[in-house]
């Protein structure tokens, strides 16, 4: 039986066409047969330079037959075998989007073991300048730096696991330069803007209760869509936040735990919001407090709530803020209205009060002056049950 050749072992020969060929062992098949990596050059000296670089790269590396698969094939396996069931559904959906929409179209057909740092750097450059699928009114087909950074993080994690699985010898994303995140700053609606928004929403019977509850609680989008009547104690006016909805493709959703441990919490609603939910419960047709308009047995889909917000903002001739900015708006006005940081941290599900203060110290004089018109005097009554922010 032939001796098993060590990884990094190589050979050189001159081909009939005059070129020089080098071959090194990079691993072995299940039956023990060696796997080879071939390199070519016009001269022997050029070949030896290439060969020595590859020998160092593959020395003591034992790759498997999976090193012949394409990047796209590995990413599919990574999603199903490495990530499904280990990360939140929303996170998994994000990975899937980055891979299907951006990485696969660029490099999905390339053999994973031949993927280079230059290949990836060129992909980032193309995505930055022309990677957006649908044309944006301001950015055209450019992707934001933050999106390219998310794509980089996803690919880096997938290839890191490929190294651990002996599919590649090193992670080619290391050494690449990805843009730094450039998240849009929080956009807080002022008192006058909130009045204008509420005036428009008030005309919409379907959405008034939804957005009024959101403005008075600052719940995350998935949290408010995931509320059930069993979470609401109409006698005490308390509301449990114990689940969140994750939007999926094709209008589907999954129900999961709250974003953080402190996200599972109980809050005391403002009297007007508690009364609003009591009246709403009298005509409830579903277990969900805010059911799907067309399929009441299902909850309101988080994406539908997002798109409806955009429509209402346009009608009110207001800036097209993100849904999460309603949460920031609530927190800012609540602090301006006299709610202490510790209580507010509990309401929002943050881990500590200092985070809340550091995040929302940008309250402007105008917001402070108008806060009472938005949060009302009853905001002082909002508190986390037992005022325990670690619950």
Return the CA Rg of the chain: 28
Residue 50 sits at the vertex; the CA angle it makes with 47 and 54, to the nearest 5 degrees, is 135
The structure tokens listed for 12 are 């050189």
309 contacts: CB under 8 Å, gap ≥ 6: 211, 323, 326
Q: What is the pLDDT of residue 212?
A: 93
Q: Which DSSP category does 70 fall into?
A: B
Q: Is residue 265 within 8 Å of residue 391, measured between CB atoms?
A: yes
Q: Which DSSP category does 79 fall into?
A: I
Question: Alpha carbon 42 to chain centroid distance?
Answer: 48
One DSSP character per residue, 83-105 reads ITTTS-HHHHHHHHHIIIIIIHH
* Rounded Cα distance, 304 and 289, in Å: 15
Q: What is the pLDDT of residue 315?
A: 95
Closest C-alpha to 310, from 322, 299, 301: 322
* Rounded Cα distance, 47 and 40, in Å: 6
* Rounded Cα distance, 140 and 133, in Å: 10
Q: b vs e for 87-96, b when ≥16 Cβ sit within 10 Å of the residue's Cβ?
A: eebbebbebb
Q: What is the pLDDT of residue 261?
A: 60
Closest C-alpha to 335, from 368, 381, 365: 368
CA 212 vs CA 198, 235, 241, 379: distances in Å: 8, 20, 17, 14
Q: Map residue 63 onto helix, strand or coil.
A: strand
Q: What is the pLDDT of residue 377?
A: 36
* Rounded Cα distance, 3 and 5, in Å: 6
* Rounded Cα distance, 182 and 305, in Å: 25
Q: Map residue 338 onto helix, strand or coil.
A: coil
Answer whether CATH 1.10.150.130 is correct for domain 68-164: yes
Q: What is the pLDDT of residue 355?
A: 52
* Rounded Cα distance, 179 and 164, in Å: 26
- In the Cβ-directed half-sphere of 86, how many Cα atoms lie within 13 Å? 8
Q: What is the pLDDT of residue 89?
A: 81
Give the strands of the sheet with 34-41, arranged side by side: 10-14, 20-28, 34-41
pLDDT along the chain (391 residues), means of 10: 49 83 78 77 84 72 84 97 88 92 96 93 94 76 90 97 92 92 80 92 92 92 94 93 79 70 80 93 94 91 92 93 88 73 68 57 46 41 35 32
Q: Which fold has domain 191-387?
A: hpI Integrase; Chain A (1.10.443)
The structure tokens listed for 258 are 């709250």
């Amino acid at each position: 039986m032939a001796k098993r050749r060590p990884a990094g072992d190589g050979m050189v020969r001159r081909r009939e066409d005059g070129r020089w060929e080098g071959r090194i062992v990079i691993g072995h098949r299940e039956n023990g047969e060696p796997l080879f990596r071939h390199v070519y050059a016009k001269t022997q000296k050029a070949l030896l330079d290439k060969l020595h670089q590859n020998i160092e790269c593959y020395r003591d590396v034992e790759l498997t037959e999976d090193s012949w698969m394409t990047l796209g094939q590995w990413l599919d396996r990574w999603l199903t075998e490495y990530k499904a069931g280990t990360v939140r559904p929303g996170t998994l959906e994000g990975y899937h989007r980055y891979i299907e929409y951006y990485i696969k179209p660029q490099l999905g057909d390339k053999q994973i073991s031949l993927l280079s740092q230059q290949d990836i750097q060129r992909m980032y450059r193309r995505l930055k300048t022309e990677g957006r699928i649908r044309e944006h009114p301001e950015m055209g087909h450019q992707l934001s730096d933050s999106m390219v950074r998310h794509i980089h993080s996803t690919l880096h994690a997938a290839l890191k696991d490929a190294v651990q699985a002996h599919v590649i010898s090193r992670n080619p994303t290391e050494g690449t330069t990805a843009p730094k995140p450039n998240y849009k700053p929080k956009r807080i609606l002022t008192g006058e803007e909130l009045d204008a928004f509420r005036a428009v929403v008030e005309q919409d019977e379907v959405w008034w209760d939804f957005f009024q509850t959101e403005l008075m609680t600052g719940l995350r989008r998935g949290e408010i869509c995931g509320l059930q009547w069993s979470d609401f104690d109409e006698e005490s006016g308390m509301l449990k936040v114990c689940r969140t909805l994750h939007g999926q493709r094709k209008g589907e959703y999954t129900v999961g735990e709250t974003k953080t441990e402190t996200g599972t919490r109980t809050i005391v609603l403002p009297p007007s919001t508690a009364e609003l939910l009591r009246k709403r419960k009298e005509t409830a047709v579903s277990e969900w407090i805010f059911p799907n308009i067309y399929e009441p047995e299902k909850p309101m889909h988080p994406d539908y709530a997002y798109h409806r917000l955009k429509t209402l903002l346009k009608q009110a001739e207001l800036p097209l803020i993100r849904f999460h900015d309603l949460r920031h708006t609530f927190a800012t006005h609540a602090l301006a209205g006299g709610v202490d940081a510790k209580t507010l941290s509990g309401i929002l599900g943050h881990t500590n009060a200092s985070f809340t203060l550091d995040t929302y110290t940008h309250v402007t004089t105008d917001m402070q002056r108008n806060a009472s018109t938005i949060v009302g005097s009853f905001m002082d009554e909002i508190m986390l049950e037992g005022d325990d922010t670690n619950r």
